[in-house]
Amino acid sequence: MLKIHQFRYLPSPLLILACLLLLIPQGTHAGVPDHYAKAHFDWVLVTQDSLLSEYTALATHRQSQGLAPMLLGMEELNRWSPYPENSAETLRWLATVADQQWGAAYLVLGGSHAVLPAPLHRVTWGLDNFTDSPTDAYFRCLGGEWDVDGDGLVAEFEDDAADPTGHISVGRLPADDRVAAANLVAKIIAFEQRSPDAADGALFVSSLMNPFWKPGDMYPNFALNAALGLRDQALARRPSLRAGTLFQGDQGGDPNLDPLNPASLADSLGARPHDFIFIQLNGAPETWELAGGLPITSEDLAGIADCGHSFLAAMISGDVADTRSEQNILTQQMILPDGGAVGVVAPGGVVFLSFTWNFQESLWQHMLDDSAERLGDAFDLAQADYLDNYGTESSVALSNYYSQALLGDPATLLRAPEAPAMTPSVVMATTLHAAPNPFNPQTSLHFEVPDTGADRVPVRLQIFDLHGRLVETLIDGTLEAGPRSVVWGGTAAAGVYLARLQVDGREETTKLTLVD
């Protein structure tokens, strides 16, 4: 049974406490409420408030695997945060709380960089060449001073003092609307529940890694050889793996008739189930490119939708995991219904092939042997191996490290679980929020009625003034599970009010400000 815990029930002193909190000077913050500060959560997902109901299904799924999940909306998080005006700093603060107070192993950012922004990391080569790209490592590696020089760019070699040591496994679900989030959640759950007959397949894809190649040119074959080497290592790790290849040829002629072209890639990804995909090519967030100038766009791969199976992908390419663009191909692959990717490990910034190749070797080792149970575990182990191999003395090596990104839930199982575990309660904080707020003359109060297993759930929603006097009862009865909204305002005088929601024996309060 799904239980959504909100703020613990307090008797009448709740209103007194709430009034005192309203008197705290601006510039301070409430911090994590005591009953959350002392709790333990294994898996924490933060998202915009409008998507909490979509991600509840994923939290429930994690709960069924024995993880203690926590859902958190940005509106509530900003009330706790010492940085309510800076989303990136707020998310880093949450990562620290999740790691150090809650003992969480996994942190999920439920939205793109537009919704849950990451700071930019600058990769510099030569005198005047540089690229600024977001880095989710900022939320995973919690030590050091990431912006010593105060320029807003983090982890700059020699200018900052970031500690690259990983503390918590972080992944990003790049879905910004309810349909996209629901599609991605459903695919993750289906992937983990796939039948053994459909599992244990892999596909290795490689271009010539030379976008300027043209028929008749000599070409370096290191890309094809490297992909074959990775395939052979994968087969050595897991002999039962059904491994296929799709490589770009060097014969010339019509590139659309080449073994690797947009149509053949879409066919390979959509027609047959593969657990794991490796893609090595030139790329940018919105357009991937094969040698000879042949582009691959999200439209080329749109037909993978509804094919009935999804996959985990690992890529060597350009900054393909930079999800700031809504047209990012990986984002589009992840939000497709019933097909496409459920998780991706790929660069979010400029990387250098030799360093990235060694990271991929380690990543595939941990994905295919028994050292990692979940995708985030494999990613973190590969990152730790990378630090052991290259240290922190090279700007190029560190840039590669900070540029690697995990798109998807880091708790995604690499193999199906053998048996269900005991299920702790899902915690959601908070479902009650008002928009607009401040308001005049009306605001909408939004909340979620949890699925308790009963047909209807007792719900009471009331408005109080700061003296604790009841102003109006908006709901006092039973409702079916699901999202709800109620409009209030139009008759009260300007001032500060408290909306109190009681659902299934639990209570939550939020402040309302009616302005002139």
Each residue's pLDDT tens digit, 327-351: 999 999 999 999 999 999 999 987 7
Q: Are the CB atoms for 471 and 477 separated by under 8 Å? A: no
Match 């890529």 to its residue by tokens.
315
Residue 406 has pLDDT above 80, yes or no: yes
Per-residue confidence band for 18, with pLDDT thresholds at 50, 70 and 90: very low
Q: How far is residue 187's CA from residue 204's CA, in Å, rounded to a whole number? A: 22
pLDDT, the chain, mean: 85
Question: What separation in angstroms does the CA of 246 have from each of 359, 366, 368?
Answer: 22, 23, 20
Q: How far is residue 136's CA from residue 156's CA, in Å, rounded to a whole number? A: 15
Residue 488 has pLDDT above 60, yes or no: yes
> Structure tokens of 274?
């593969």
Residue 345's Cβ-side half-sphere holds a number of Cα atoms within 13 Å equal to 32
Per-residue confidence band for 189, with pLDDT thresholds at 50, 70 and 90: very high
Q: Give the 3-state secondary structure of residue 376.
A: helix
Residue 429 has pLDDT above 60, yes or no: no
One-letter identity of residue 288: W
Q: How far is residue 372's CA from residue 415's CA, in Å, rounded to a whole number? A: 10
Residue 115 has pLDDT above 50, yes or no: yes
Kindly report, residue by residue over 211-224, the tens digit of the pLDDT.
666 666 655 567 88
Per DSSP bridges, beta strands 143-145 and 433-435 are: unpaired
pLDDT of residue 155: 94
pLDDT of residue 328: 94
Q: Can you tell me the mean pLDDT for 362-374? A: 93
Q: Are the CB atoms for 436 and 14 separated by under 8 Å? A: no
Return the exposure string of 198-210: e unless at least 16 CB atoms fall within 10 Å of the residue's CB, then b: ebbbbbbbbbbbb
Q: Can you tell me the mean pLDDT for 51-56? A: 89
Per-residue confidence band for 13, with pLDDT thresholds at 50, 70 and 90: very low
Q: How far is residue 109's CA from residue 116's CA, in Å, rounded to a whole number? A: 7
Kindly report, residue by residue over 173-187, the tens digit of the pLDDT.
999 899 999 999 999
Match 């582009």 to its residue by tokens.
295
Give the least confident one: 101-105, 193-197, 281-285. Answer: 193-197
Kindly report, residue by residue over 244-254, the tens digit of the pLDDT.
999 887 655 56
pLDDT of residue 219: 55
Q: Can you tell me the mean pLDDT for 198-220? A: 73
Quote the strand ranges of 333-407, DSSP E.
Answer: 339-347, 404-407
Kindly report, residue by residue over 285-332, the tens digit of the pLDDT.
999 988 878 899 999 999 999 999 999 999 988 899 999 988 999 999
For the chain, percent of residues with pLDDT exceeding 90 = 51
C-beta neighbour count of 475 within 10 angstroms? 17
pLDDT of residue 218: 59
Question: Exposure of 236 by Cβ count < 10 A (0-12 exposed, 13-18 middle, 19+ buried)?
Answer: exposed
Please name the residues in contact with 26: beta carbons below 8 A apart, sequence gap of 6 or more. Answer: none
Nearest to 322 by CA among 160, 118, 492, 509: 118
Nearest to 227 by CA among 317, 321, 350: 317
Nearest to 392 by CA among 168, 167, 162: 162
Q: Are the CB atoms for 411 and 62 separated by under 8 Å? A: yes
* CA-CA-CA-CA dihedral for 275, 135, 43, 502, to nearest 10: -120
Question: What separation in angstroms does the CA of 326 have from each of 134, 137, 333?
Answer: 15, 21, 12
Kindly report, residue by residue over 150-166, the tens digit of the pLDDT.
999 999 998 999 999 99
Q: Can you tell me the mean pLDDT for 452-465? A: 87
Q: Are the CB atoms for 309 and 344 separated by under 8 Å? A: no
Nearest to 266 by CA among 336, 368, 189, 344: 336
Q: How far is residue 289's CA from residue 303's CA, in Å, rounded to a whole number? A: 19
**pTM value surpassing 0.95:** no
Tell me the Ramachandran region of residue 200: left when phi exceeds 0, alpha when psi lies from -120 to 50, beta otherwise: left
Per-residue confidence band for 426, with pLDDT thresholds at 50, 70 and 90: low
What is the CATH T-level fold of the domain 181-400, as seen in this structure?
Rossmann fold (3.40.50)
More confident residue, 258 or 356: 356
Highest mean pLDDT among 217-226, 380-389, 494-503: 380-389
Sorted by where each begins, the domain ranges of the chain are: 181-400, 432-514
Per-residue confidence band for 10, with pLDDT thresholds at 50, 70 and 90: very low
Tell me the Ramachandran region of residue 476: left when phi exceeds 0, alpha when psi lies from -120 to 50, beta otherwise: beta
Residues in the chain, how many?
516
Residue 341's Cβ-side half-sphere holds a number of Cα atoms within 13 Å equal to 29
Kindly report, residue by residue over 70-93, the tens digit of the pLDDT.
999 998 899 999 999 999 999 999
- Residue 438, preceding bond cis, omega within 30 degrees? yes
Per DSSP bridges, beta strands 339-347 and 69-73 are: unpaired
More confident residue, 389 or 417: 389
Match 């490592």 to its residue by tokens.
137
pLDDT of residue 295: 92
Residue 419 has pLDDT above 60, yes or no: no
Residue 468 has pLDDT above 80, yes or no: no
Residue 100 has pLDDT above 90, yes or no: yes
pLDDT of residue 212: 67
For the chain, percent of residues with pLDDT exceeding 70 = 86
Q: How far is residue 196's CA from residue 173's CA, in Å, rounded to a whole number? A: 26
Residue 490 has pLDDT above 80, yes or no: no
Distance of CA 125 to the CA centre of its chain: 30
Q: Give the 3-state secondary structure of residue 401.
A: helix
Per DSSP bridges, beta strands 457-465 and 129-134 are: unpaired
pLDDT of residue 196: 66
What is the CATH T-level fold of the domain 432-514, as seen in this structure?
Immunoglobulin-like (2.60.40)
